Structure 1
Amino acid sequence: MTCQLLADCLDEIFEYLEEDRLTLHSCLLVNRLWCKLTVRILWRNIWNFKSKICQLKAASSILSTLIACLPNESKELLHKNDIFISPPTPKPPLFNYATYCKVLSTYGIDKIVDKVLNDKSLLNYRRSLVANEVFKLFTSQISSLKKLVYHRNGRYHINFSFNYFPGAKDLSELHCESDLPSNFLYQLSQVCHNLQSISINFVSENISNELKELIFSQKNLKNIALSAFDESWSDIIPTLMKHSNSLIKLCLYSDNVNLSLSFVRLFPNLQEIIISFPNLFQVSENFKEFEDSTRSFIDFRKLQYANFSKLQILKIPFYCPRVEYVVKFLENNGKNLQKLYIYRSDKAISLSVANFCPNIKSLYVTFKNDELDILKTIFISCQYLESIKITCGVRHLDKKEVLNTVANYSPKNFHELKIYSSSRSYVSSEDLEAFFISWKNRTPKKLLTLVMIMGGFFTSFNMRIIKKYEKLGVIKFKIKWYDEEEKEEEFVT
């Protein structure tokens, strides 16, 4: 009983360390109990390598460990095909590592195999053989799978067919392509009925009946992400209507402005809408002509009149529909919005935030260099605002003016300022310290998180001042070279 209590306590502690991989790795060496609890967390999702420098080392370690866990018949099959991958140690594995996996990714397996077996003399069918044996190990050993990413490699194919896959019944998240083998989709639809999230990358116009059946058979589908380029997602829309009341998040990702958007209004309970069209600027060399003809997002003119009483998050991270459409949409749906992210926005859109979005908490709209008063208006009108991202540069607001405005006009709940530098610009150390002093004297006192994206404030004097006020507990400072809000929605993870 005492031993189990200790394990439960350690388990709770290690859960808090899930993002701190360095500390978790040090726990592996304490004793067998610590090692087992740590391995269980580290092997939940082994497909994301944070550092490119250690990618090969991590991939090699993971693959050799998995090969060591293969059944004897799989090892013999690899040896017969002259594939020799040494185990990490001469001893048998301490644990059946595959059983701890909660995220399974064909893309991840492909990436690991390609990194480790990069010898050009090793033909693709041998890489395919390794990938398939590893995949069979996972499907036979995982008892409870939460997320499956199934994308096909153009050079070789993982033959994902399962007669025995106990973990599939617990699957809650699926990322896949629209042309997956019908037998796989049929098998999955027979055992998996509790998907919460489905992400589909459309690679053909024809959607199989098996994919439609898989979507239709889900009991409580909440999130849908559709990604299409030359293809269309229109064929899947009637099937989605079965979930019209349960869907709360919808992400549409494309570069084709002629794709249907009007169907979005058929899902009245949406809490989050993302419309991400990142590559539209490549369509035309004449930017003005492009702006006039394609940025309208033709179907959004119908969507502007839709009412979503539960909508809390709206993101349009790249190119935006016509301004008048967005303004009307915010007039109808801004009351409950808590987060708004519009990259290519306009003065009218910024003013509509002040007029129609009184409960907004997190905001990113762009301001031109003569629109400082609009920022002040938003601060005064949106008293629940906690976080804002502001672009500063030659054509946008000045950093010094932004800092002064934040110090004097931001509401009492405000505690996070993100500054994105669109061009090289600095603020003097005197102005920076004056801002920190103003923030220190604010009532009520709140720790300010100051995030710099793509440069700025990087003089040695400024960094000294920043460190000074970090130690005083006035600010928390972060530097980022990209903004996660601008990352494409993850259709392959």
Structure 2
Amino acid sequence: MTCQLPFDCLNDIFKCLEEDKHTLYSCLLVNHLWCEVSVRIIWGNIWNIRTPRNNIVSSSILSTLVACLPNESKELLCKNEIFILTPTPKLPLFNYTAFCKILPISSIDELVVNSLQNKKPSKKRLVKEEIIKMFANQVYPLKKLFYYNNYYPLNFSFPYFPGLRDLSELYCSTILPSNFYYQLSQICCNLHTLSIIFDGYATPNELKELISLQNNLKVLILSAYDNASWKDIIPALKNNSNTITKLRLYGNKSNLPFSFVGLFYNLQEFIFSFMNVVNGNYFEGFKSLQYVNFSNLQTLKFPYHCPRPEYVMEFLETNGKNLKKFYVRGSNKALRLSIADFCPNLRSLFIVFNNNEIDILKVIFNNCEYLESIKVWCGKHYLSEKKVFETVANYSPNNFYELKIDNISHSDISPEDLEPFFISWKNRITKRILSLIIIKEYCKNLDDDEENMEIIKKYENLGIIRFRTIGYEKEKDEENYFII
């Protein structure tokens, strides 16, 4: 007699397969219960399996959504001579729409446009409206709403969108009509995450009201580019000064206000990500934060341009003791050396060393005894891979287990370099498996050499290392370099 695991148990197991789509899809074929569990997980965020260039996938998703439309919507499309082939003439096996927990308005727009390229704009708009209305009536609760632009305004009342009452994540922009924020503020006061793109338009007062009404806002993401600024919403943030624990700031200019960060004394994570800033401009506004004490801060990241190093050093002297993750790309030698003194409890580190600074890496390894993971640049003016391997083998602390290498130029590592490193790792007192991760962009990496891969496979089979490569874009997503 076979034993069938209950639905909830299978659901917990299959959630671990969300990134392994091939295995998850195979579960669809086992039996009806496995199929339903898998379908719920896949359709929970169906948008992440589709790409703008894959019209086949887009058409398949659209046809399934059309099959789920209520009869009145199907009749309306038919009346307007909009005929979209569905997977089956019968009703779908599941109500796929109800499984969705994430609704990106722009993705629906993109889905329809890519799939119905030869249709008139008016007919595309009708399809979009009927699909969004279906989501409005059937998705409950909705976890995430992505609504960034005003190209496709929602033209129905939000009280008829019951899932929004328990919305936990909102990703929006200041270009949206004020009525959107007004209606949302009437029904939604329990946002966990709020992400706002400032488009250069005046910030609607209704958005400020929505912010001030939140009871438990924990994650705040602000993105301002070109002439835009988040200055106008700062007063509305005061009501959430004790609840916000994660703050991510994105932009491409340095004269934005930063002193308001000091309001959030319970911060655990602070990401300061600015691109294309004119050389010589060092975010003078950060000066006001250098002595602010964030007693709970564990993660600090400067993925691109960094404030003036002396400001960051003062900040680390005040807050570095509690840091577990510190990522900084733009730094000077003094700042790199200060990490060993001010951040003794680090678990994860990304820092750029010049090619003559291997001794600084040794000092960090010696002083940061809890360090588990490090990412470094190799090649050209930076550290050589061979020296990094030698230093990791001989100086990394007992807890260390993960090495990420981002090659700026072609790798010159050889099997003669790799094997001694793996042997040294095998002979360490602490028998932790080493995770070796190569970030691939355009350069030739060590795994592009067949002999290197033979050595790698040998020590993988011995249980000494785990090896993988990740694309540059995926690595940036994992490190929150950009808005997801």
The two structures have a TM-score, normalised by structure 1, of: 0.93
Bigger shift: residues 188-197 or 444-453 = 188-197
- What's 1:402 paired with? 388
- What's 1:192 paired with? 188
Give the Cα separation in 1 of the matches to 2:8 and 2:267: 38
Structure 1 residue 182 displacement after superposition: 2.4
Amino acid at match of 2:436: L
Give 1:277-426 correspondences, 5 Å limit: 277-280=274-277, 290-292=278-280, 294=281, 296-426=282-412
Structure 1 residue 11 displacement after superposition: 2.7
User: Are residues 489 and 132 of structure 1, via their aligned partners in 2, closer, same or farther at CA, if it must alter by over 3 Å?
Assistant: farther
Would you say the 8 A contact 2:150–2:176 is kept in 1?
A: no
Match of 1:166 among 159, 162, 167: 162
Structure 1 residue 117 displacement after superposition: 1.2
Give the Cα separation in 2 of the matches to 1:126 and 1:439: 63
Would you say the 8 A contact 2:175–2:201 is kept in 1?
A: no
Structure 1 residue 10 displacement after superposition: 2.6
Amino acid at match of 1:387: S
- What's 2:211 paired with? 215
User: Are residues 370 and 333 of structure 1, via their aligned partners in 2, closer, same or farther at CA, if it must alter by over 3 Å?
Assistant: same
Structure 1 residue 424 displacement after superposition: 1.2
Give the Cα separation in 2 of the matches to 1:303 and 1:100: 44
Would you say the 8 A contact 1:110–1:153 is kept in 2?
A: no
Amino acid at match of 2:476: E
Structure 1 residue 69 displacement after superposition: 1.0
Alignment identity in percent?
56
Match of 1:134 among 124, 131, 148: 131
Matched, 1:481 2:471: yes
Give 1:2-401 correspondences, 5 Å limit: 6-49=6-49, 55-119=54-118, 122-152=119-149, 154=151, 156-159=152-155, 161-229=157-225, 230-280=227-277, 290-292=278-280, 294=281, 296-401=282-387
Amino acid at match of 1:460: E
Per-residue CA distance 1:314-358 (angstroms, 9 max, x = gap): 111111111111111111110100001111222111111101000
Per-residue CA distance 1:213-240 (angstroms, 9 max, x = gap): 2111111110100111121100000001
SS at structure 2 position matched to 1:58: helix
User: Are residues 425 and 141 of structure 1, via their aligned partners in 2, closer, same or farther at CA, if it must alter by over 3 Å?
Assistant: same
User: Are residues 473 and 51 of structure 1, via their aligned partners in 2, closer, same or farther at CA, if it must alter by over 3 Å?
Assistant: farther
Gaps of 5+ in 2: none
Would you say the 8 A contact 2:325–2:347 is kept in 1?
A: yes
Would you say the 8 A contact 1:201–1:491 is kept in 2?
A: no
User: Are residues 334 and 485 of structure 1, via their aligned partners in 2, closer, same or farther at CA, if it must alter by over 3 Å?
Assistant: farther
Give the Cα separation in 2 of the matches to 1:473 and 1:355: 35
Per-residue CA distance 1:63-91 (angstroms, 9 max, x = gap): 11111111122122222332211111122
Would you say the 8 A contact 1:429–1:461 is kept in 2?
A: yes
User: Are residues 491 and 376 of structure 1, via their aligned partners in 2, closer, same or farther at CA, if it must alter by over 3 Å?
Assistant: closer
Structure 1 residue 391 displacement after superposition: 0.6
Gaps of 5+ in 1: 281-289
Give the Cα separation in 2 of the matches to 1:174 and 1:441: 50
Give the Cα separation in 1 of the matches to 2:138 and 2:476: 37
Give the Cα separation in 2 of the matches to 1:269 and 1:8: 35
Per-residue CA distance 1:32-82 (angstroms, 9 max, x = gap): 2222222111110111126677x3222111111111111122122222332
Q: Larger RCO: Structure 1 or Structure 2 (Cα < 8 Å, ≥ 6 residues apart)?
A: 1
Per-residue CA distance 1:398-445 (angstroms, 9 max, x = gap): 111110000000000000000110111211211110000000000111
Give the Cα separation in 2 of the matches to 1:5 and 1:405: 49
- What's 2:430 paired with? 444
Would you say the 8 A contact 1:67–1:87 is kept in 2?
A: yes
Would you say the 8 A contact 1:200–1:491 is kept in 2?
A: no
User: Are residues 485 and 259 of structure 1, via their aligned partners in 2, closer, same or farther at CA, if it must alter by over 3 Å?
Assistant: farther
Per-residue CA distance 1:251-271 (angstroms, 9 max, x = gap): 111111111111111211111
- What's 1:287 paired with? none
User: Are residues 415 and 50 of structure 1, via their aligned partners in 2, closer, same or farther at CA, if it must alter by over 3 Å?
Assistant: farther
Bigger shift: residues 228-237 or 204-213 = 204-213
Structure 1 residue 456 displacement after superposition: 2.0
Give the Cα separation in 2 of the matches to 1:481 and 1:6: 37
The alignment yields a C-alpha RMSD, in angstroms, of: 1.9
Give the Cα separation in 2 of the matches to 1:74 and 1:52: 26
Give the Cα separation in 2 of the matches to 1:434 and 1:52: 45
- What's 2:445 paired with? 456
User: Are residues 225 and 414 of structure 1, via their aligned partners in 2, closer, same or farther at CA, if it must alter by over 3 Å?
Assistant: same
Give the Cα separation in 1 of the matches to 2:216 and 2:9: 33
- What's 1:286 paired with? none
Match of 2:461 among 458, 467, 471: 471
